Amino acid sequence: MTLPNLDFTHDPAAQSWVASANAEGCDFPLQNLPYGRFRRAGHNEDWRIGVAIGDQILDLRRAAERGRWETPLQVLLQPLAQGDLNALMAAPKAARVALRQALFRALQAGSPQQALLADALLAQHEAELALPCRIGDYTDFYTGIHHATTVGKLFRPDNPLLPNYKWVPIGYHGRASSIGISGQQLHRPWGQLKAPDADAPVFAPAKRLDYELELGLFVGPGNALGEPIPMAQADEHLFGLCLLNDWSARDVQAWEYQPLGPFLAKNFGSTISPWVVTMEALAPFRCAQQRPEGDPPPLPYLDSEANRSLGGLDLELEVWLQTAAMRAAGEPATRLMRSNFRHAYWTLAQMLVHHASNGCNLQPGDLLGTGTQSGPAADEGGSLLELSQGGKQALTLPNGETRSFLQDGDTVILRAHAQAGGARRIGFGDCAATLLAARAG
């Protein structure tokens, strides 16, 4: 089946005049062009939006001033020059596509814009990065069926999946204010903990600290209050993706989550990667939705032929860990697992449509987490809770250290890339954060 929305920006042979973008295995080739918010490190200048290209950033403030752009594109560039990515998220899909095409042409080898834009580049290592947009609301879903099944077996061996899982894209409202950017340092949280044989809980630092491997979906234009988004229009409202580590205090969670679900075990911090990879860049990697034979079909409001045939996304996901001892010894991070987002039970479109189905008004820049993305094999768990079987079987690292859950000083790194025949490999960049000791009580 022909993939949708493919154009010259997906040509795998296209090269950039930014030499580093042409390197094999580069996360940010010409075919990617993700958006991020930055300024020069060590300078108290205004934030602006940039586009990652190779190991450089195209400063869209300077590009707007120096480049030659048609009037509609100048209108789109002006808020980006002021650091406002939400304005582009709110724009119609056709306008977003037009800007992507213009930036592609400007950065392509042989472009007449090269001489004008060469000094609009900044090396990524010289930049300070911030949250890419204003995140008004954050909702976390539970679309990884292999994660849901494995975790369910730990607590309900005879009934791991609750009856609603295959009918409803399960989610809960998270905390937007505690979302941070890759590179952050996060303190181990305090919370109520209750041992199985204890009569009462205690208030102490969490002991079973974990990561969760997720994707974050940024909402595009959104919908008015009371007006659902139909499946036929879902793609108009999917702006782009980042990596998301939804840190979790498992022992706090076990005590507090009934009857209303996650609360303090989750909202002490979430980390996202700084670059938003647009859905347009990911078009060559769309795939069929995976749904096992015999499972109930989605209700009509969550179903469409396009979603069944191309609602999935073939995206390789990885988690890496570097302990404090490894860092002190100059040893690199080690990979803990690998999975793929094509295993997700619910698609990005179904998440968004279900969220708005009751008339809930989604807004440009709202963030929807996919939930932990694990694969079907035991070594493809997207959290330590799964990989260690609830803490019962510790992982042995290459340097001899072991981990059931995270220890202070551990740095967790999420990585992802999309790769397919006839398309250029594109990546997301790192989503990294380091766990610090709990603050003094």
CA gyration radius, the chain:
22
Q: Which of 360, 364, 304 is nearest to 88 (CA)?
A: 364
Enter the tokens of residue 289.
Answer: 């939705």
- What's the one-letter identity of residue 56? Q
- Angle of helix 71-81 relative to helix 93-107, nearest 10 degrees, comes to 90
CB 119 within 8 A of CB 250: no
SS3 assignment, position 391: coil
Told to judge if 147 belongs to the known catalytic residues of this protein, a careful annotator would answer: yes
The distance from CA 290 to its chain's CA centroid, rounded to whole angstroms, is 20
- What's the one-letter identity of residue 133? C
CB 64 within 8 A of CB 81: yes
Looking at the chain, how many residues does it have?
441
Query: Residue 108 carries which DSSP code?
Result: B
In Å, how far are 157, 199, 318, 378, 382 from 389, measured between CA atoms? 13, 26, 19, 9, 12
Active-site residue identified among 10, 43, 146, 147: 147
- What's the one-letter identity of residue 206? A
Enter the tokens of residue 27.
Answer: 């996360």
Beta 248-249 vs 209-210: how paired, if at all?
Answer: antiparallel
Q: Which of 240, 239, 243, 238 is nearest to 215 (CA)?
A: 243
Beta strands in 56-100 (DSSP E): 56-59
How many C-beta atoms surround the C-beta of residue 158 within 10 A?
A: 5
- Cα–Cα distance for residue pair 271/68, rounded to 1 Å: 37
In Å, how far are 122, 133, 189, 316 from 41, measured between CA atoms? 10, 19, 29, 31
* 151 phi, psi to nearest 5 deg: -65, -40
- Cα–Cα distance for residue pair 204/426, rounded to 1 Å: 43
Peptide bond into 296 cis (omega under 30): no
Active site residues: 147
